Structure 1
Amino acid sequence: MATGFKDSSTSNANSITIPTCSFTYVSTRTHQPRRVTGVERTWEYLKERFNRASEGLPDLSTRYFETTGFGPFLFAVADDAVFYHDEEKWTQYKSASDIEYGTMTIDL
């Protein structure tokens, strides 16, 4: 399986730099704020990795992320809206806030 990193990732002989996104949402289970961070991947990669059959979001500017810790397995961001994917449907987080983009460098 390919890595699924977007073309915006960069690499050299010793490391790779990957775009990331973080946001905060209020958990429906605990009613507490949760901070989520993900690394950018292609939707095709995420579909294969998490056995999803549905299509991505229709907005061509949508970016897809694989969560690196607690939170959903994957999420998508289109403009200022954050979505999770469950039971083959995209649903927008009502409580998503503090969306921040960055990068993560991984040593090879």
Structure 2
Amino acid sequence: MIEFKRGVNEGDLLADARRLAWLCQNAEIGHRMEKNFLVTVTTSSKNVLDARSEVIENMLKDEFPVVCLKPEYVDLSEFKSTKSKSQGKDLHAMVWEFNCSRFLDR
């Protein structure tokens, strides 16, 4: 599953991360849900995205210890926001991959 977001609100990202981690953890072996992705595109900086990665990682350690997180920053600074409040600002993205550790050895 791939879920797309247009912001970095911590509460919203954590709710989505919990849902995707639960799906991963409860997937049958070999099911496509064993790997899920959360993607956000935002004008927030790489530092903000890295901070969100840390928050998600800590939540997974506490609530879903068998789910691994692989964050990957994507520089979209050649693209600009067209939203009225952030018109012309550089865009940045983060892709978070959720993968259940019981599946990683296959």
Give the structure-2-normalised TM-score. 0.26
- In terms of fraction of residues, the more helix-rich structure is 2
Give the structure with higher Rg (CA): 2
